[in-house]
Amino acid sequence: MENLIALLVAAPLLGAAVLLCGGRRLDAVGHWIGTALSSASFVIGVVLFTDLLGKNAEHRTLLQHLWTWVPVEGFQADVAFRLDQLSMTFVLLITGVGSLIHLYSIGYMEHDERRRRFFGYLNLFLAAMLILVLADNYLLLYVGWEGVGLASYLLIGFWQHKPSAATAAKKAFLVNRVGDMGLSIAIMLMFTTFGTFAFGPVLSHVGDASEGKLTGIALMLLLAACGKSAQVPLQSWLGDAMEGPTPVSALIHAATMVTAGVYLIVRSGAIFNAAPDAQLVVTVVGAVTLLFGAIVGCAKDDIKKALAGSTMSQIGYMVLAAGLGPIGYVFAIMHLVTHGFFKAGLFLGAGSVMHGMNDEVDMRKYGGLRKYMPITFVTFGLGYLAIIGFPGLSGFFSKDKIIEAAFAKGGAEGWILGGAALLGAAITAYYMTRVMLMTFFGEKRWQPDENGNEPHPHESPKTMTIPMIVLAFGSVFAGGIFGIGDRFLHWLEPITGHEEGNSPVSALTVTLATMVVLVIGVGIAWAQYGRKPVPAVAPRGSLLTRAARRDLLQDDFNHVVLVRGGEHLTRSLVYVDHTLVDGVVNGTAASMGGLSGRLRKLQNGYARSYAVSMFGGAAILVAATLLMRAV
């Protein structure tokens, strides 16, 4: 079975090569080729998953060595894949949800003349993401990491004729480069510390390194995770990335790329376990981001940007859980998987709404769409109930476990983290209810555009609704299936480990508290958007509301601190260069020029002048000799 691992990557990689190099002759069938090869990778994943289920837990790690990449004395890098319970979970999520999004894109991108290229980019992204999660060493993981960055740049900026899309792609690429520097530095530190960057030797010899070195490595890995997973302080790119086609938002910003940072932290769990200071920073980043993203999501009228804030917040939950160590690793991945179902479904539902509303994204111009788009309404509604943690649905099982794990951290830290997670649950219930009410309830609010064209909302074609239905089933049942008999915990525990912690509150108390804050959040949203007409123009709002509309001033902060700071630094360096460096160089040149000009006058061509010079020199030598003898 080990020989099949490489085929997981080879199928979408072949699709990318064929679609991007095949030319226009494949325009008519390119979308089917891309979808078929993505689905083939999923089928191979299911076969491997079935094989792993038939093995004992200690034998569920499969290794496939393809070739030696860098055969240098003292430095060896292999192209080798590792398939275990953790990477298998990601393989099924990436290929399963990815294939559904490919199918959805057939209908969504039907009228785009560059559809073949779009599917080539989707296949390229899947291949890079699979390399990332299957790599057996950090250097090969870095290849997949950068491949994902390239593919996301191409997909976010796919409609590059729009300046906003081109700018968003560039912004995502540059912000992620900051995080990527963290990963490259971490790999260098690993090699100087352990002499290798293979998972096995590094993670099994953590005890041989000092806590200071491990803290440095862990913080650099966290920096990388912040970039890919849009966590504070590298979160500013995610909202702008909604300029890409909606299937891109579902694939990259819900189910795959933004979860790469969580995978990196959990895969490197042994390093973080030995670096408690770094673990504390991880939990702080997760807690701050889950609140940050939730607050931003409350103020957005653009349906995709509201969901982008939600994504940032939900990934914050995962990072918080990952920072809790063995108490939370399993629940971070569990929420990652359930989130992949309901958030991908929500994004596809948003795309379906846009498809029926002439690409309108402003929720203030929706209203009453449940009557016109019943399938979209039901599937989106199930995703909504799952994300707010409605009892019995996926989010209820995974998010509640994270809140319980936060309290189980114990002490003041546990109360603070658990309180932040509960507050995030209340805000989530509020902003997602707001999205639901503004989009599907109330009276219709759409108006003709400047050309007199009025939207005629209608249900999307089957190629779009079928993936939405499948994801809705996952939103409803995945969490319950994982939770029965702690199946998911027992599946991942051999890789991640697990500890129960020492929670000051019972699981029942946490569940009741979560239900209370859920009802409060839904109630406030209903009072504001369900009982009252939605105004066509957003009111000015409070200072916090205005700040949230501007993403809590994250771009303003970056502009003042980084852009203007960089400008001042550049001007200072230019001033130093002109005054000091150029002054020394130009001054030396001028001095030599002046001296040479004066010395040149001594070479006048007159013999009598040379005779006087010789006589003077001889006189000086005689005088010096006599003086020395006298002394």
pLDDT digits (tens, 9 = 90+) for 221-279: 999 999 999 999 999 899 999 999 999 989 887 778 899 999 999 999 999 999 999 99
Contact predicate 184/142, CB 8 Å: yes
pLDDT classification of 58: cutoffs 50, 70, 90 = confident
Name the residue type at position 159: W
pLDDT at residue 570, as a whole number: 84
DSSP 3-state of 231: coil
Per-residue pLDDT at 72: 82
CB of 265 within 8 A of CB of 272?
A: yes
CA distance 197 to 220: 15
The answer to whether residue 74 scores a pLDDT higher than 80 is: no
CA distance linking residue 555 with residue 176, whole number of Å: 15
What span, in angstroms and rounded, lies between the C-alpha atoms of 96 and 340?
10
**How far apart, in whole angstroms, are the C-alpha atoms of residue 550 and residue 556?**
8
Q: What is the pLDDT of residues 9-39, one digit of tens each?
A: 999 999 999 999 998 999 999 999 999 999 9
Say yes or no to pLDDT of 586 above 90: no
Closest-CA residue to 410 (of 470, 500, 329)? 500
533-564 pLDDT, tens digit per residue, is: 888 888 888 888 888 888 888 888 887 877 77
Buried b (16+ CB within 10 A) or exposed e, 287-302: bbbbbbbbbbbbbbbb
- Is 90 exceeded by the pLDDT of residue 65? yes
Identify the pLDDT of residue 124: 96
pLDDT (average), residues 467-479 = 95
Concatenating the DSSP letter of every residue in 429-496 gives: HHHHHHHHHHHHSSS------TTSPPP---PPPHHHHHHHHHHHHHHHHHHHHHHGGGHHHHHHHHHH
Q: Are 352 and 416 in contact (CB under 8 A)?
A: no
Percent share of the chain, pLDDT over 70: 99
pLDDT at 608 over 80: no
Query: pLDDT by residue (tens digit) across 140-149?
Result: 999 999 999 9
Task: Spell out the residues 6+ positions from residue 541 whose beta carbon is closer than 8 angstroms to its own.
Answer: 299, 549
The yes-or-no verdict on residue 600 having pLDDT over 80 is no
For 56-64, what is the mean pLDDT?
A: 91
Buried/exposed code over 526-563 (b: 16+ C-beta within 10 A; e: otherwise): beebbeeebeeeeeeeeeeeebbbebbebeeebeeeee
Give the list of residues 6+ apart from residue 158 with CB closer than 8 angstroms, or none.
Answer: 114, 118, 121, 165, 244, 245, 248
The residue type at 405: A
Q: How far is CA 14 from CA 9, 64, 113, 146, 173, in A?
A: 9, 19, 22, 19, 25
Q: What is the pLDDT of residues 325-375, one digit of tens each?
A: 999 999 999 999 999 999 999 999 999 999 999 889 999 999 999 999 999
DSSP 3-state helix, strand, coil percentages of the chain (rounded to 5)? 75, 5, 20
pLDDT range class, residue 8, cuts 50, 70, 90: very high
Categorize the per-residue pLDDT at 422 as very low, low, confident or very high, splitting at 50, 70 and 90: very high
- What rounded mean pLDDT belongs to the chain? 92
**Over residues 152-159, mean pLDDT:** 94
Condensed to tens digits (0 to 9), the pLDDT of residues 83-139 reads 999 999 999 999 999 999 999 999 999 989 999 999 999 999 999 999 999 999 999
Peptide bond into 233 cis (omega under 30): yes
Tell me: pLDDT of 286 over 90.
yes
pLDDT (mean) for 198-216:
94
CA proximity to 81, closest of 109, 102, 62, 100: 62
Q: What is the pLDDT of residue 465?
A: 95
Helix (H, G, I), strand (E, B) or coil at 27: coil
| Size of the chain in residues | 631
- 396, pLDDT greater than 90: yes
Under DSSP, the state recorded for 300 is: -
- Residue 467 has what pLDDT? 96
